[in-house]
């Protein structure tokens, strides 16, 4: 099980220190492999989460995100690789370990006949040191719905209940799997504030999402997964390396469109002004853009892909 | 493994965190009670399930007793009213519905709808989950049987046994039958591929057993090969045990062996209890069969 190095870009110093200590690794994955028949859903994946940080795992559908997360949660067995979550191997960890995790999975439609309060209170009782259920309900903005049947909740309210159920045990590590799918912009913003408050209370969060704005807003670090591997990690600002952020200057001269990547766009613009500007001093269609996280992400997941 | 540069192996989970020192993991008995509360609330609020479980044996008793009301059952040995003859089979069928059918279907459905996945992510052990199911089953089986007996006695004038020994037999057949049905239901729940197919897989099993086990037809009137097949399964024995409680002693002559065979009943039910327990423990899955 030799740890393999992933071609990462501008990765911060790997987390170190004893598990559970501040700044120590909450999650450490090396060379993770999961096969479904002949297909390698996860193919040598490496991932680190330091205690107290939010890491967003991005990637197209079928890239292996959900499989990876389910292995970390102890739902699925792996075929190869080294996995440590809160210092334990999820494949062998027991109830005491589960008590330290929170999981917010995708599309659950269970417990429809319970009320919000019953649902959160009964779940709290599975844990050794739960949070106060009523406070948790209030923190996700469902205080007014505490007596309502789960069946009657809207999609967004249902999702916030999922989060309440995921955090009521007082987890050290929280898994959020595409938490804001189907939210309206305002609900999404409220939800983000909730996640950041959780982080501020010391919860480590592993977030999977398709929403690049969400990743940019919430994540301390981003890991992009493609074909079962992490192809890049970094802060949302540095992901993809400096090259990926090189500003792009586009303009039109003599009816021909031009594009040039440069670290000195201002100088290029000045040069264009002096050389190709018209009589009015304008360069036709001049535009300077800095690639967004989405542009960088799309570059990472489409580069060299067969499709 | 020998590389000096390998990361330091993580030591055994040191409970470094103060929050976890604040409490111990709750015990299984307490968790089963918490789960039973959740299960009862959910069951009671799903009206259709409640109506089915409680009404089915009563409606069947009413229909059969009305249709065949004029015909007495038995031979020249003993003649009793149809409702009285029919009641033990309905008690047995009620036990099977509330235990086996309810559990096999509900666990398969909960494997599908995310309930088990969510519970799996908590420190709730499988024993706590199943314990809650057992308590729910016990509560519904008691309530349903009491209701059935009340209707039989009040509306159909079925005489209730006056002998304490009969009620002792009733109690152990009921408890053992419910326990057997419960563990077999847990074991069987792993068979349906999905929650949607669960009813379609479980119901035929229950229906066939009802027809061959002397629930709808008098057991002595069935072909002997059918009696032999039925003798392998618990329902025939629960029904026979209940006949020993609710039918007059002379009717024992109508049983295939000429007696109530209570020791054999206990033996078969205990055997199924053990088989169901072993299979249930070995095959219980938090996830669907076809899920990676």
DSSP collapsed to 3 states, A153-194: CCHHHHHHHHHHHHHCCCCCEEEEECCCCCCCHHHHHHHHHH
Residues of chain A in contact with residue B46, where contact means CB-CB under 8 angstroms, are 113
Report pLDDT digits (tens) over B20-43.
445 789 999 999 999 999 999 999
Q: Which residues have a Cβ under 8 Å from the Cβ of B219 and sit 6 or more positions away? A: B213, B227, B230, B236, B239, B240, B255, B256
What is the domain-level CATH number for residue A59? 3.40.50.300
Is A304 part of a structural domain of the chain? no
A307 contacts chain B (CB < 8 A) = no
Overall number of domains in chain A: 3
CA-nearest of B135, B166, B118, B147 to B57 is B147
pLDDT at A298 over 90: no
**B106 interfaces chain A, CB cutoff of 8 Å:** no
Domains in chain B: boundaries: 26-283
DSSP A278: -
Q: What is the mean pLDDT of residues A221-236?
A: 92
This model's pTM is above 0.90: no
Confidence class for position B257, pLDDT limits 50, 70, 90: confident
pLDDT grade for B9, boundaries at 50, 70 and 90: very low
Percent of chain B with pLDDT over 90: 56
- pLDDT, residue A180, reads 82
- Token pair of A64, please? 């292996």
Same domain, A164 and A182: no
**Assigned token pair, A253:** 């001269």
Confidence band (pLDDT; 50, 70, 90) for A241?
confident
CA distance B25 to chain A (A): 5
More confident residue, B83 or B160: B160
Residue pair B108/B192 in contact by the 8 Å Cβ criterion? yes
Using CB atoms and an 8 Å cut-off, which of residues 1-60 of chain B contact chain A? Answer: 1, 3, 6-7, 10-11, 13-17, 19-20, 22-26, 30-31, 34-35, 37-38, 41-42, 45-46
Identity of the residue in B24, B114, B125 whose CB atom sits nearest the CB atom of A110: B114
Q: Are residues A82 and A203 in the same domain?
A: yes
Closest CA to B120 of A121, A203, A126, A151: A126
Comparing A17-31, A36-50, A134-148, B151-165, the range with the smallest average pLDDT is A17-31
Evaluate whether residue A297 is within a structural domain: no
A78 shares its domain with A1: yes
Q: How high does pLDDT run on average in chain A?
A: 86
Q: How far is B233 from A256, CA to CA, in rounded Å?
A: 85
Q: List, for residues A135-187, the tens digit of each pLDDT value.
A: 999 988 899 999 999 999 988 888 889 989 999 999 999 999 888 877 788 87
Contacts of B124 in chain A (CB under 8 A): 126
Which of A18-32, A123-137, B45-59 is predicted most confidently? Answer: A123-137
Q: Are residues A73 and A180 in the same domain?
A: yes
- Residue A12 belongs to a domain: no
**Is pLDDT of B273 > 90?**
yes
pLDDT at residue A6, as a whole number: 42
Range from B12-26, B153-167, B247-261 that averages highest in pLDDT: B153-167
Q: Which residue has the tokens 């959740």?
A: B38
User: Residue B104's Cα: distance from chain center in Å?
Assistant: 9
DSSP 8-state class, residue B27: P
Residues A29-48 have pLDDT tens digits of: 999 999 998 889 999 999 99
For helices B195-212 and B234-246, angle between their N-to-C axes, nearest 10 degrees? 50
Task: Specify the range with the lowest mean pLDDT, choosing from A16-25, A118-127, A282-291, B144-153.
Answer: A16-25
Distance (Å, whole) CA B50 – CA B102:
11
Kindly state the average pLDDT of the residues B262-289. Answer: 90
Domain range spanning residue A219? 1-6+18-100+172-187+197-233
Are residues A39 and A162 part of one domain?
no
Residue A10 has pLDDT above 70, yes or no: no
Distance from CA of B47 to the nearest CA of A (A): 11
Task: List CB contacts of A112: < 8 A, sequence separation 6 or more.
Answer: A149, A150, A151
Answer whether A110 sits within 8 Å of B16, measured CB to CB. Answer: no
Q: What share of chain A in percent tops pLDDT 90?
A: 50
Regarding whether A71 and A183 lie in a shared domain, the answer is yes
Which of the four pLDDT bands, split at 50, 70 and 90, describes residue B1?
Answer: very low
Q: Which two tokens stand for residue B177?
A: 């039958």
Cβ-Cβ contacts under 8 Å for B227 (sequence gap 6 or more): B212, B219, B236, B256
Q: Which spans in B156-233 are helix H?
A: 164-188, 195-212, 224-231
CA gap A17, A10 in Å, rounded: 21
Considering the domain architecture, whether residues A112 and A163 belong to the same structural domain is answered as: yes
A115 inside domain = yes
- A195 closest CA partner among A223, A236, A164, A234: A164
Q: Which of B16, B37, B123 sits opposite A126 (nearest CB)?
A: B123
Mean pLDDT (chain B) is 85
- The residue-averaged pLDDT of B140-167 equals 93
Domain presence at residue A240: no
Instruction: Answer whether B112's CB lies under 8 Å from B194's CB.
Output: yes
pLDDT digits (tens, 9 = 90+) for A59-81: 988 889 989 999 999 999 999 99
Does ipTM come in above 0.85? Answer: no
Residues A2 and A49 in one domain: yes
Question: What percent of chain A stands above pLDDT 70?
Answer: 90
Q: Which of B23, B45, B121 sits opposite A128 (nearest CB)?
A: B23
Say whether both A2 and A76 belong to one domain. Answer: yes
State mean pLDDT over B80-106.
90
Of residues B177 and B72, more confidence is placed in B177
Residue B19: pLDDT above 50? no
The pLDDT value given to residue B8 = 40
Considering the domain architecture, whether residues A32 and A71 belong to the same structural domain is answered as yes
Let me know if residue A307 belongs to a domain: no
A52 plus A127 within the same structural domain: no
Given a cut of 70, whether residue B10 has pLDDT beyond it is: no
Higher pLDDT, A9 or A99: A99
Given CB atoms, is A172 within the 8 Å cutoff of chain B?
Answer: yes
């Amino acid at each position: 099980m030799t740890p393999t190095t992933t071609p990462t870009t501008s990765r911060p110093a790997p987390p170190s220190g004893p598990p559970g200590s501040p700044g120590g690794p909450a999650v450490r994955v090396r060379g993770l492999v999961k096969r479904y028949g002949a297909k390698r859903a996860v193919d040598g994946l490496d991932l680190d989460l330091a205690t107290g940080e939010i890491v967003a795992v991005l990637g197209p559908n079928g890239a292996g995100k959900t499989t990876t997360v389910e292995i970390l949660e102890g739902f699925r067995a792996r075929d190869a690789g080294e996995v440590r979550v809160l210092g334990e191997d999820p494949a062998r960890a027991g109830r005491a370990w589960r008590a330290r995790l929170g999981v917010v999975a995708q599309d659950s439609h269970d417990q429809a006949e319970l009320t919000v309060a019953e649902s959160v209170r009964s779940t709290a009782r599975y844990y050794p040191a739960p949070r106060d259920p009523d406070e948790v309900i209030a923190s996700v903005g469902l205080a007014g719905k505490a007596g309502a049947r789960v069946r009657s909740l809207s999609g967004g309210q249902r999702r916030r209940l999922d989060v309440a159920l995921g955090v009521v045990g007082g987890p050290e590590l929280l898994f959020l799997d595409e938490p804001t799918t189907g939210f309206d912009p305002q609900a999404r913003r409220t939800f983000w504030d909730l996640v950041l408050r959780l982080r501020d209370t010391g919860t480590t969060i592993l977030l999977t999402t398709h929403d690049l704005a969400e990743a940019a807003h919430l994540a301390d670090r981003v890991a992009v997964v493609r074909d079962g591997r992490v192809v890049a990690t970094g802060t949302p600002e540095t992901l993809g390396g400096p090259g990926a952020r090189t500003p792009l200057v586009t303009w039109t001269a003599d009816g021909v469109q031009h594009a040039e990547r440069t670290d000195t766009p201002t100088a290029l613009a000045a040069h264009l002004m002096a050389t190709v500007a018209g009589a009015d001093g304008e360069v036709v269609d001049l535009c300077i853009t800095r690639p967004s996280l989405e542009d960088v992400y799309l570059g990472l997941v489409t580069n060299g892909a067969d499709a | 493994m020998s590389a000096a540069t390998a990361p330091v192996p993580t030591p055994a989970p040191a409970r470094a965190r103060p929050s976890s020192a604040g409490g111990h993991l709750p015990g299984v008995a307490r968790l089963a009670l918490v789960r039973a509360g959740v299960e009862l609330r959910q069951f009671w609020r799903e009206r259709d399930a409640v109506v089915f479980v409680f009404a089915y044996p009563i409606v069947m008793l009413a229909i059969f007793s009305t249709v065949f009301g004029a015909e007495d059952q038995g031979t020249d040995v003993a003649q009793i009213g149809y409702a009285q003859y029919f009641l033990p089979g309905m008690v047995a069928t009620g036990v099977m519905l509330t235990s086996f059918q309810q559990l096999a279907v509900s666990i398969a459905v909960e494997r599908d709808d995310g309930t088990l996945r969510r519970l799996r992510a908590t420190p709730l052990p499988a024993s706590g989950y199943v314990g809650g199911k057992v308590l729910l089953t016990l509560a519904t089986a008691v309530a349903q049987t009491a209701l059935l007996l009340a209707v039989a006695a009040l509306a159909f004038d079925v005489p209730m046994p006056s002998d304490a020994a009969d009620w002792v037999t009733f109690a152990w057949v009921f408890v053992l039958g419910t326990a057997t049905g419960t563990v077999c239901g847990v074991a069987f729940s792993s068979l349906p591929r999905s929650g949607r197919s669960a009813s379609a897989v479980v119901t035929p099993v229950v229906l066939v057993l009802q027809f061959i086990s002397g629930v709808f037809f008098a057991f002595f009137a069935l072909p002997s090969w059918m009696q032999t097949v039925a003798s392998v399964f618990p329902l025939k024995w629960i029904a026979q045990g209940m006949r020993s409680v609710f039918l007059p002693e002379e009717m024992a002559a109508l049983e295939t062996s000429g007696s109530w065979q209570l020791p054999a009943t206990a033996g078969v039910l205990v055997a199924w209890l053990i088989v169901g327990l072993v299979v249930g423990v070995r095959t219980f899955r938090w996830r669907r069969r076809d899920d990676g």
